[in-house]
Amino acid sequence: MQLFDMLEQKIKAHQPKIVFPEGIDARVLGAAVRLKKDGLVTPVVIGPRVQIEETATANGIDVTGLDTIDPASYAGIDELVASFVERRKGKATEEQARAVILKDVNTFGTMLVHTGQAEGLVSGAMHATGDTVRPALQIIKMQEGYKKTSGVFIMVRDEEQYVFADCAINIAPDANDLAENAIASAKTAKTFGIDPKVALLSFSTKGSAKSPETERVVEATRIAKERAPELAIDGELQFDAAFVPSVAKSKAPESDVAGQANVFIFPSLEAGNIGYKIAQRLGGFEAIGPILQGLNKPVNDLSRGCNEEDVYKLAIITAAQAVEERQA
């Protein structure tokens, strides 16, 4: 079964509420209308209704029946302000909270998720990654046991599906960061129907080279196995040893992951970002994401170069994460 066929089956009975803070963007608006029409997601679109309708008219989009919220006239603003002040624990006054919630659509949308009025958020078509991630870290915060969020891509080509991480957030992860990333990525893989076999990548396989960089991956592997002994996790592995059975047999014959890995943990952001783009551009894989991991509720970031289909697909992924959290 194709990935999105599986995800649509997973979410259709639930149709979780997903917030779209960038409602005046035609790509976002078009995707939200399709998601509602297809019965997959209950979209909550943020923005002044007049501007939303102007965007819709200019792009031939029918927004009849679409749930929209204008922060400037939102009846529940006092509840959001009080909740923001409580959540920030003395770092914002009521006046400051009201100002930021009304000014920043991502903060407004994140507060809807935090207060249970929605189950996830998709943004980034008009904003930088930091503008999406920052409110999520401040308000939704990390799940117990995780200190940092990480960004993964689901790499899809026909029936092939892999998880690449971290390709979006942490520039120079330490051993603990890599271990967290490995465990979170295994959880993400399960959400998308992938039985995770997690390889922590390096330029060395099982001590074939020694350096602070390789030792960091070795230590990360030890920590991950200690924290999640039920998972199939191994490292340090070169990519060919992790992926190619014949190479694995030669380089890591005792490994239960080598030669069959489907979740790849890159040792740095530069490696992950380069790696996924090589697979995308030379290998013909579709790169879906980045999907943020480790947060208490799903918040995901679009590229500003996205198209309507990207918004549509990332919303389905966010909805699947929401359903997974609901059922946990």
Low-confidence ranges of the chain (pLDDT < 70): 1, 328
Give Cα 207 to chain centroid, integer Å.
32
Report whether 118 contacts 18 (CB < 8 A). Answer: yes
Measured CA to CA, the distance from residue 168 to residue 164 in angstroms comes to 10
Would the CA dihedral through 268, 127, 16, 155 be positive or negative? negative
3-141+296-327 maps to CATH 3.20.20.370 = no
Measured CA to CA, the distance from residue 280 to residue 135 in angstroms comes to 30
Q: Name the residue among 123, 140, 136 with its Cα closest to residue 19.
A: 123
Measured CA to CA, the distance from residue 34 to residue 242 in angstroms comes to 39
CA distances in angstroms from 73 to 23, 29, 50, 93, 294, listed in the order given? 15, 20, 13, 21, 33
Same-fold call for 3-141+296-327 versus 150-281: yes
DSSP string, 248-264: HHHH-TT-SSTTS--EE
Residues 6+ apart with CB under 8 A from 229: none
Give Cα 25 to chain centroid, integer Å.
21
Q: Locate 96 and state its tokens.
A: 């400051």
Report the 10 Å Cβ neighbour count for 93: 12
Residue whose tokens read 């991950």: 224
What pLDDT, on a 0 to 100 scale, did the predictor assign at position 328? 66
What pLDDT, on a 0 to 100 scale, did the predictor assign at position 4? 85
Rg for the chain, CA atoms, rounded: 21
Assigned CATH topology for domain 150-281: Rossmann fold (3.40.50)
Report whether 153 contacts 188 (CB < 8 A). Answer: no
What pLDDT, on a 0 to 100 scale, did the predictor assign at position 1? 54
Report whether 301 contacts 109 (CB < 8 A). Answer: no
Secondary structure (3-state) at 178 = helix
- Domains of the chain, by residue range, sit at 3-141+296-327, 150-281
Residue 103 backbone phi and psi in degrees, to 5:
-85, -40
Residue whose tokens read 């009201």: 98
Residue whose tokens read 């997601």: 41
Residue 116 backbone phi and psi in degrees, to 5:
80, 10
Residue 176 backbone phi and psi in degrees, to 5:
-65, -40
